[in-house]
Every structure is written in structure tokens, then in C-alpha cells.
Amino acid sequence: MRKIINSPDNVVSEMMEGYISAYGRYYEKHPKVNGVILKQRRKDKVALVIGGGSGHEPMFSGFVGKGLADAAACGNIFASPDPNTVYETAKAVDQGRGVIFVYGCYAGDNLNFDMGEEFLNEDGIATTHVRVWDDVVSAPKERIEDRRGIAGDVFVVKIAGAACDAGLSLEEVTRVTEKARNNTKTIGVATAPAQLPGIDKPIFELPDGEIEYGMGLHGERGVLRTAWQDADVLVEKMYAQIMEDADLTAGDEVCVLVNGLGSTTITELAIAYRKVKKLLDKDGIKVHDTDLNSFCTSQEMGGFSITLFKLDEELKEYYDMPCYCPFYAKGELTGAGLSEQEEDMPADEEPEFDEKDTKSAKITRSKEGVLTELNAADVRNMLIYIADKIIAKKPYLTEIDSAIGDGDHGIGMAGGMQKVKRKLLEMKAEENVYALFEAAGKAMLLSMGGASGVIFGSLYLAGAKGMEPKSVLTAEDVSEMEKKSLEAIKARGKAEPGDKTMVDALAPAVEAMEQGSGISLLEMLKAAEAAAAQGVEDTKKYQAKFGRAKSLMERAIGYQDAGATSVWLILQGMREFVEGSKE
């Protein structure tokens, strides 16, 4: 598929540059990170910050506006913004009354926004968050907090923006926004797959005559593949499933959104709404307002979603308040009179992964043969060697992740390791082995986005953080570091063995290290590598409890986890460096 882009590595930065240039009368870009900031914000109020991966335009950056969000923290394509982007964007719009974050309920967003909140709280800025989980088919009702956020984001952001502009306290804004979230129900279907910029095949294959039922916003596969159906038949099935989940009865009032996923026409959306309206009329449910548009997209995916937003008198008051942004408006079209200002555009930002920077570094070791311990120079070179290894494995990791995810793990890991490599190449004089691991972890944490940024950043950072400086790393030190990292990752991500995550490789590797107490560094790493490899193989037997594959349930069985694969490759790299058998 041909996309209207230059280099796939610069898609987000060039999109951001063009977007701010086109709408510079309303917006400015944060000077340090990919944050879109509303210029003329109402003063003395709670700040609303939204965000998520790019590739869903106009959501999220296109919902910054008067009566809507004050700012949006934007990640790479289909990947959450990193904690630093969340932190810097929110800090720029805080007015002393606190910040509320609204975003879709995905593992990467949850982890990165949580950490961004922690950074803000350390600065004395009060925060809350509302995770949108409107997708009724992505988890059963008793596990509603595991549901995904899809097109229902539109209604939740609208209400949150109005509540903030009304001058409510942070506590009250949160209450109203949670009520809006809990009253929003969505279901979507896909008729054609999406394709990520720079990837030579679609996220999934969809044969002619079939549709994916229960499609998510990131292009991940639905919960069921069915035969093609006429619009009325399909809408009736979708409507019935929403009504089964929603608390709607005759006399209730709703807003309706029929949302296109990227390549669906208004003609098709209108035909779908025609049937929705007939079904609502039959059930005695009133329609207060309707939108037929593509607000939450997934690149050029074909298909649509139906969202019903139940109103009460309080929610209707906030819904009817005017708002304006270039892609969405309600009430009086405010904003048309804003003064134009020419802003200097920031310099081009560094791409997530630079295809021109893939040359392997020259790796040296402190001695020939097997290493029995690692000095600071060895640690630095080992981490650079691992970075080069992961960069070289980018296509392999992309292929694995594309099977049940959205295909971004390879480029995310390679991009993060590229930042690690650059940082470590600057640290030739560092003598503290733990400082090198910390620097590597922070480089990943603050650059990768997605769940991988937090989790794999913690793999290096958490084990080294707070350790007394040392010039040499022994087998026991490595074992202790990996144990601390595992504990931190489990605490942060809540994953356990069997959940089809990187923990499935790391946990048995750590156990093998502990059982190998007293053996050589090489033998310990061999045992850890073997245990991790078996852990990767075991992930094929599991349903996913986290990430994009979670909603696939048993359809995820048979595929290995990309995060676990990366853990195995990292441990393999450590073993190869120590053994002197580098690729």
C-alpha cells in the first residue's frame, strides 16, 4: 500500500509539524515533546489533558479546543506517549487547580500515564485520571476495567472539557467524567485491515466476504470473524449487544455516534445510522444528538462503530455547552474569531527509529575467552552489543507482534535500543556498573512509549536503582538485579507467569539464576537463557491477559509473545558477550 509520506521514521514529527502549521491560530506545539497545546485557554480551572497513540486522527490532537481538552500528549503510531511527554504536556497547561487525564484503557497508556502522574505529583501537582472502557465486547461486564477505549472517547472528552470549563473542582470534574464514561457503550466491526506506515503488509489479513467483529481502535483483530452481512443485519446484531450491556429503557435519552474507522464513507455511516434510529424508536429511546463522522480512526481501516451515550439532566447540561476545534463543534461555533499568530516551528524531532543509524558499534571485551565478571567497560559494551542485536532483530519482532498485536513492538524496541546505544557511547568514563544500567533504562523509558517503554525500561533501571556504586559486576550481582527488576515489573504491570507477557520469560530466567547460586557467570546466564527460551515457547499455550491481544481470548493461543521474545534475546545477548561468542 502506498501512503502519502516521506520517510516512515518521520511520520509523527512531520504530521505534527503540518498540523500545528495548519491550525497555528489555535494551537502551539510543546517545545520539547509531542504535545499539542491550546493557545487561548480559559483561566483558573482544572486542566484536561488527553492522549494516546498517533494514527487515530483526529483523535487525540484534534480534540484539543475550546470547551474540550487543553492539551494532548501524542505517542508514536499506535503507541502510547512516554511518561516524559505526558508529564511535560500536562505541566505546560496546569493552572494550579489540578490536571485530569482522559485516555483509552490500554496497557501502554495506563502504564505511561500513571508514571507521568507520579512525576507531576512529585512536583506538587494534583492529578486524577479517567480511563475510557466503552468497548462492550472486549471483556465481560464483570471485568469492565479490562475493556478497551474506542470511539466513546469523543463523548467522555466532550463532557470532561465542559466540566472543566464550568469551573468545577478536580474531584467534581472526575465524578462527572466517570459518570459519562460509565454511560458510554460502543461496539465496532472492521471490513478491511489497516497498514502501519513503513510496514509492507497489513496488520491482519481479511479474506473477501469476511468481517472482523469487535474490532479495536489499534487495528488489532476482533473477537470473532464472521461472514459478510448486509448493513441492517450487522447493525441489528451490534445494537442488540450494546443494549444487552447498557442500562437503557423506554423513555431514556441518548446521543449517538456512528464512527468510521478510516476508509468508510459518510454514505455507509448514514445507512448504518438509519437502522440504529429505527431500533431506538422501536425501543422508545429518544435521540438527543447524532454524529456521523470518522473521529477515532485506525489509519485506512474499513468499518465502523456504534456508540450510545446515555444522558441524564446533568450530563445533558454539559453536553450542550458549546465547544470548538477544527474537527468537532457543538453549540455556537466559538473560536472563529481567534487572532492569528505566526509561530516559529520547532526543529525536526528525532524519529522513533532511524533507519540510517543501524551500523553496529565496535565491541571490545576486557579479556579473551570467557568472562568471570564484568567491569564497567564490559557492562557498557555488553549493553551496546545487546542494543545492536535487538536493532537487527526488528523485522523478527515485528512479525511476531503482528500476529496478535499491532506490529509496533519491533520498531519500539529497536528505537529504544538505538537511544540506549547513543547514551552509552557518551559514557566512556563511567566506572559505576549500576549507573550504566540506569542510564540505559532511562533512555528506553523516556523514548519508547507504549507498554514496552515502561516495562523494558524497568528491566534495566529497576534492578540498578538505589544500589551502592560498584566497579565490577559478579554473577550474584546480576542475579540480584534481575530479581529486583522482575519484582518491579510485576508490581508496575500487574502481570504474572501465564499472562502471556514478558514476565513469562523473565520469571523462569530469574528463578534459574537463583537456583544457580555459586556457579559461574556464564553457566548462570546459560541457564537463564534456556529458561527464558522455554518461557517464550510456553506463551504459545496462553491466552493474553494484557495488551492488544487480550481481547482475542482463545484466538491468541498458538502465538508466542513478542515481549517475552525480547527478554530471551536480551539474555541471549548477555550470554554471548560473556562467552565471547558474539554474533
Catalytic residue positions, numbered? 218
HSE at residue 352, side-chain half, CA atoms within 13 A, is 35
Could you check whether the bond before residue 60 is cis, i.e. omega within 30 degrees of 0?
yes
Residue from 241, 230, 203 nearest 219 by CA = 203
Helix (H) or strand (E) holding 225: strand 224-227
What letters, b where the CB count within 10 A reaches 16 and e where it falls short, cover 214-223?
bbbbbbbbbb
- Tally the C-alpha atoms within 13 A of residue 309's C-alpha that lie toward its C-beta: 29
- Distance between CA 77 and CA 437 in Å, rounded? 28
The size of the chain, in residues, is 583
CA angle 21, 26, 32 (to 5 degrees): 65
DSSP 8-state secondary structure symbol assigned to residue 339: P
Strands 99-104 and 47-54: parallel
DSSP line for 174-234: HHHHHHHHHTEEEEEEEEE----TT-SS-SS---TTEEEET--TTS---SEEEE---HHHH
Q: How far is Cα 403 from Cα 423, in angstroms, rounded to an integer?
A: 32
In whole angstroms, what is the distance from residue 129 CA to residue 121 CA?
13
3-state helix, strand, coil in the chain (%, to 5): 45, 15, 40
Tell me the three-class secondary structure of 543-574, residue by residue. CCCCCHHHHHHHHHCCCCCHHHHHHHHHHHHH
Cα distance between residue 449 and residue 85, in whole Å: 9
Burial annotation 446-458 (CB, 10 A radius, 16+ → b, else e): bbbbbbbbbbbbb
**Given CA atoms 386, 389, 395, 397 in this order, what sign does their dihedral have?**
negative
Q: How far apart are CA 481 and CA 472, in angstroms?
A: 13
Q: What is the CA radius of gyration of the chain?
A: 24
CA–CA gap between residue 453 and residue 38 (Å, rounded): 27
Vertex 538 angle, CA 537 and 539, to 5°: 90
What one-character DSSP code corresponds to residue 260?
Answer: E
Contact in structure between 157 and 180 (CB atoms under 8 Å): no
Residue type for position 221: R
How far apart (Å, rounded) are the C-alpha atoms in residues 376 and 354? Answer: 28
Q: Is 413 helix (H, G, I), strand (E, B) or coil?
A: helix
Cell of 117: 502522574
